[in-house]
Amino acid sequence: MDFSWSEEQVELRERVLEMARRDLNQGLVEREASGVFNHDGWKRCGQLGIQGMPIPVAHGGGGLDPLTTVGVLESLGYGCKDNGLVFSINAHMWTAEIPLLEFGTDDQKRRYLPGLCSGDWIGGNAMTEPGSGSDAYSLATTAERRGERYVLRGSKCFVTNGPVADLLVVYANTDPGRGQRGVSAFLVEKGFPGLGFTENHDKMGLRTSPMAEIHLEDCEVPVENRLGREGAGQALFTHSMTWERACILASAVGAMQRLLDACVRYARERRQFGRPIGKNQMIQTKIVDMKLRVETARALLYQAAWLRGRGRSIFLEAALAKLHISESWVQCAQEAIQIHGAYGYMRGFEVERELRDAIGSRIYSGTNEIQRSIVASLLGL
């Protein structure tokens, strides 16, 4: 496996890093406290082509391979402290764009992908319901075909980008008697009659990424907006989730590197008992452990992306990457707070926010308990 970067890749990563530092962090403390989405930052990322990176040029994207894409997202996570904004971008790419690219008709790709790639449109997906989470296909939402339309009824919760989305991939039962084989997917636009949203959820972390419940009350969706064939929802969702698990925490690797660098600087500058705290073995151990987590997380991320770029199945590698990176992010954030002491516990130092943002990564994209079950099953257990 070759993880070296070309001059063009390095230039792109540096350009994204510079933009993130310059344009995406202003006012973050206030936005995070109020749970406000950074629309201007989203548009700035769109202008640089970030949202369209994994989509072919023919459909309005950047045509980047998976390894280049996660490398750029890693740089974005290093430069942008707004983890909520970056999370929304990831959800948009892996749960809306990728299913469209793989399962969409030529007409669907023509209608939706250019706007999603440019950032003019915001996408997301609606799968989870109040009664289904890890049991993903236990759906109460139904879709009944009536002539040239489907009528969708039900509710979805924890919909990332829900309050601001222009397009959602909504999963519903077209044949409840077939269980998971009766699940289908639909492209539902913001203005479709019968589609409603609750107010934004008030979350512990990732507060600048909007999340809401959606309600489908006889929501009419044209037949041409069914994504894939009837009953293909399981294949579509599995494909999307494999990409998501492999790539969604690329930015977290960048965030961990940022935390590590901040802790090294602080350990050199902060003096106690007449010397820098970095001379204390306890602090050194924490920082070395952080370094180890960053490097192993990066290796798993790059491996999954490299294999995906070569058309290999990455079901195992994606689960391992999601599991290890999320656990490492939480542990690095905890260590960063401990190294900074009371300052790390204060909101103004912006370290405690990293922990609140990181904790969610052990839940979304399939809980870490589910990832362990996947790995165990692939090992024949």
Residue 53 maps to which CATH number? 1.10.540.10
Asked whether residue 260 is assigned to any structural domain, the reply reads: yes
**Crossing angle of helices 250-269 and 281-309, rounded to 10°:** 160
Residue 157 maps to which CATH number? 2.40.110.10
Q: Do 75 and 89 form a contact (C-beta atoms < 8 A)?
A: no
Asked whether residue 244 is assigned to any structural domain, the reply reads: no
Q: What is the pLDDT of residue 201?
A: 83
Residues 117 and 128 occupy one common structural domain: no
Catalytic residues: 244
What pTM, to 2 d.p., does this model score? 0.94
Q: What is the pLDDT of residue 5?
A: 94
- The number of folded domains in the chain is 3
Residues 254 and 298 occupy one common structural domain: yes
Domain range enclosing 202: 124-231
Q: What is the pLDDT of residue 138?
A: 80
Residue 378 CA: distances (Å) to CA of 31, 205, 315, 365: 42, 32, 9, 18
Out of 166, 200, 231, a domain closes at 231
Q: What is the pLDDT of residue 136?
A: 66
Out of 81, 97, 122, a domain closes at 122
CA 73 – CA 93 distance, rounded (Å) = 11
Mean pLDDT per 10-residue section of the chain, whose length is 381 residues: 90 98 96 96 97 97 97 98 98 97 97 98 94 78 95 95 96 88 95 89 94 95 97 93 96 98 97 96 98 98 96 96 98 98 90 97 95 96 94
CA 240 – CA 252 distance, rounded (Å) = 19
Residues 223 and 140 occupy one common structural domain: yes
Residues 116 and 149 occupy one common structural domain: no
Residue 329 maps to which CATH number? 1.20.140.10
Q: What is the pLDDT of residue 179?
A: 79
Out of 92, 122, 152, a domain closes at 122
Asked whether residue 331 is assigned to any structural domain, the reply reads: yes
Q: What is the pLDDT of residue 18?
A: 98
The 3-state secondary structure of 31-65 reads HHHHCCCCHHHHHHHHHCCCCCCCCCHHHCCCCCC
Q: Is the dihedral of CA 186, 87, 328, 3 positive or negative?
A: positive
Backbone angles phi, psi at 236, to 5 degrees: -65, -45
Residues 140 and 109 occupy one common structural domain: no
